[in-house]
Structure 1
């Protein structure tokens, strides 16, 4: 008897418990959580239901949301019209076995037959292949990984007990609001006609879901089906490969902290939290610089010195595909910031005697069209020190800084740029309220709208009563 129990223990461990633990804990061969900035994935099990699934589809359409439905084959077989509607409205349909029974309680061949039967039902209704499978209760057995090579197993990040009617709308809403976060894969139920569930529990789910989606929409979240969530996650993982490691992140943080200290000590003035430049009034030192408008910039002339916001520069470098892409983005930033500088310094005494606006940078391609004259730095210690400093900055702030320094060493030469104040005021000294940079913010304004009145979900009793009178067709 002891040996029999021991063999049963071994069988359950390797057939059921161990695969379940590995898949849930480590995500082995399953997808259960996304990496996203603004997306949440809604998934629904156990349907379709003739009463609640149509109401759910109406609610999803109201919020322009896409979802994933893991259908039970025996329910899907009765309501192919609901599968067709799901497909036509852009939702994804997956398999949840033909009957709602745990894979631990079935032989591998039986599981395989259940899945194939449900697959055929979905394909007959929609004409599309099925790509996703969610085992009931998320329980997999040892053979699921090998038998389901053509299906991706989908689990979840959060479930809420919504199959129990006694949970109630308020408590269910509170639970769901705690998971209003990007990358979530929510498990909800649009059918209560399974063992252990309450028949009309989805009525509470629909009301809680509308609260959840309304708040999520206000916060800028999108509700996407599992195919899009997987694609977004794969893209995020690919992008993360180029992210700096722990040591480099520490170096970057220290560098940016030093920049802040520099700004404080030398009293640099910000042009706004989103501007690429900081400025200060100082003296120009160096040989006379002949500007393109015929004016000269002499040694000890007062200038407005431009300083790049290296925090923003770092973000651009992380996002740019090449130095050319970075240069294009920088040109756009300069284009939007120069009118703002004009608006900020207009009429202020400390800026009245300046002769030019001036800066030194390795990112100088294309700035001539803004009125700047670009000139080489004179050979000497200042040129060498500036070159070392700017290259070090590029290596620290750019995720591919070392390789780009090798590839573009000859192109990465610091140069000085200057524009006379006469040219500056002529180009950028108009009424700042008319400047084009302000229009860029127009698209960010939120539109006020009154949400439509919520409706109480139709219950099975209501459905049966209406149907008897001929008022509702399932």
Structure 2
């Protein structure tokens, strides 16, 4: 059970944190245009500080991006209207300043993001399309917000929520602004961990910083403008393609794969054909599984849990001209391994009490021909998170990438595949 919880937390929290905060994947966190920066302000609107901030921005002819809380937008619609009318961009920072790690994916989408978007659209007539979660913390489910929202983080944090950071120190911190910087600041001191008077110090520093940036010929733009300008290649250069993005994503995933294998002691069935790895464990599902041959796997029964080797899947994917060809290769390689698994069950003392093989996968077409039963995953949070994780993995490994997620979506549902010890022993000869 401890392993299941650790695996869940890793998928739901740690992987998104590594991808977004350490590698900058899946989010916009820095521009690529010279002499261009973007100021962003979180946690507002605030009747004490936001109007003064707008006056300073107007004084320096600067346009900025405000990631606002829906609850505050609802409370101070006149400030939201002013932000919009003065040409600034409005993004979403949740309805309440709550961590996404402590909410379900649908709770974030419906109760926080969409609710805030509805509120802001009702006030301004324009629906926000940019989202920054509180503390920049994303969960695995938040990646599916990318369908409707651009996820935005930052490249420079001034720690301005702390009143012990004086205006002088803030100016020094902001003096490190470089080409493409996205600066994180706050126009409210009411959120958890912030000092109530901290924005006042930020405003004093900001006035001087904007003057300095103007003297240095920097242009301050909104996030949407920066993103658009970043798409344009510099003279004599090619625009950065998705290949680099995918390379970084794959590298981080393979790092996680190696850690997972070592952490849970997965063993390859065949080192020459490492497609499948096994882990002996007790079945922890709350519902028993009835297989097509009548055998039942109940909670507590010992099983050999199946795991695909994602490194080999990626290699097969890159060498496959089509998804059909990829599926055929996977089925053939799996079929070659089944007699070896039978041998393990018959001869390895570690497998003597194993009742069958069990796995959860999107790759279940053709599994029945190999003797596996294909069973629907019980509905619930585990099913949702598993589907989110596997769809994200499929978008990386499949030859068609993200396009595959839009094709035959009814098939992109994770299933339990399982085969009893009896069926495996009868069907395959070691």
Output the TM-score relative to the length of structure 2: 0.54
1:174 maps to which of 141, 150, 172: 172
Residue equivalent to 1:66? 63
1:120 maps to which of 118, 121, 128: 118
> How well do the aligned residues superpose, as a CA RMSD in angstroms?
1.5
Using a 3 Å threshold, how does the CA distance of structure 1 residues 15 and 49 change in structure 2: closer, same or farther? same
Residues 387-441 of structure 1 show CA distances to partners (whole Å, capped at 9, x for unaligned) of xxxxxxxxxxxxxxxxxxxxxxxxxxxxxxxxxxxxxxxxxxxxxxxxxxxxxxx
Residue equivalent to 1:46? 43
1:138-153 aligned at under 5 Å gives the runs 138-153=136-151
Residue equivalent to 2:131? 133
1:187 maps to which of 173, 184, 192: 184
The reply to whether residue 14 of structure 1 matches residue 14 of structure 2 is: no
> Which structure has the larger Rg?
1
The reply to whether residue 213 of structure 1 matches residue 213 of structure 2 is: no
1:107 maps to which of 83, 104, 107: 104
Separation (CA, whole Å) in 1 of partners of 2:100 and 2:233? 33
Residue equivalent to 1:76? 73
Residues 224-247 of structure 1 show CA distances to partners (whole Å, capped at 9, x for unaligned) of 11011101111136962189xxxx
Residue equivalent to 1:86? 83
Using a 3 Å threshold, how does the CA distance of structure 1 residues 150 and 211 change in structure 2: closer, same or farther? same
Using a 3 Å threshold, how does the CA distance of structure 1 residues 147 and 40 change in structure 2: closer, same or farther? closer
Using a 3 Å threshold, how does the CA distance of structure 1 residues 237 and 97 change in structure 2: closer, same or farther? farther
Residue equivalent to 2:152? 154
Separation (CA, whole Å) in 2 of partners of 1:120 and 1:241? 39
Using a 3 Å threshold, how does the CA distance of structure 1 residues 239 and 91 change in structure 2: closer, same or farther? farther
Separation (CA, whole Å) in 2 of partners of 1:198 and 1:242? 42
Residue equivalent to 2:288? none
* 3-state secondary structure, aligned to 2:212: helix
Quote how far apart the aligned CAs of 1:33 are: 0.4
**Misfit runs of 4+, over 4 Å:** none
Using a 3 Å threshold, how does the CA distance of structure 1 residues 10 and 223 change in structure 2: closer, same or farther? same
The reply to whether residue 165 of structure 1 matches residue 163 of structure 2 is: yes
Separation (CA, whole Å) in 1 of partners of 2:180 and 2:233? 11
How many residues align? The count is: 239
1:73-472 aligned at under 5 Å gives the runs 73-113=70-110, 114-179=112-177, 181-236=178-233, 240-241=237-238
Using a 3 Å threshold, how does the CA distance of structure 1 residues 13 and 219 change in structure 2: closer, same or farther? same
Quote how far apart the aligned CAs of 1:203 are: 0.3
* 3-state secondary structure, aligned to 1:165: coil
Quote how far apart the aligned CAs of 1:210 are: 1.1
Quote how far apart the aligned CAs of 1:158 are: 0.7
* 3-state secondary structure, aligned to 2:41: strand
Residues 363-391 of structure 1 show CA distances to partners (whole Å, capped at 9, x for unaligned) of xxxxxxxxxxxxxxxxxxxxxxxxxxxxx
Separation (CA, whole Å) in 2 of partners of 1:149 and 1:242? 23
Residue equivalent to 1:27? 24
Residues 184-235 of structure 1 show CA distances to partners (whole Å, capped at 9, x for unaligned) of 0000000011111011100000011111101000111111110111011111
Separation (CA, whole Å) in 2 of partners of 1:239 and 1:119? 40
CA contact (8 A) 2:19 2:26 kept: no
Using a 3 Å threshold, how does the CA distance of structure 1 residues 219 and 147 change in structure 2: closer, same or farther? closer
Separation (CA, whole Å) in 2 of partners of 1:177 and 1:18? 32
What 5-or-longer segments of structure 2 have no aligned partner? 241-430
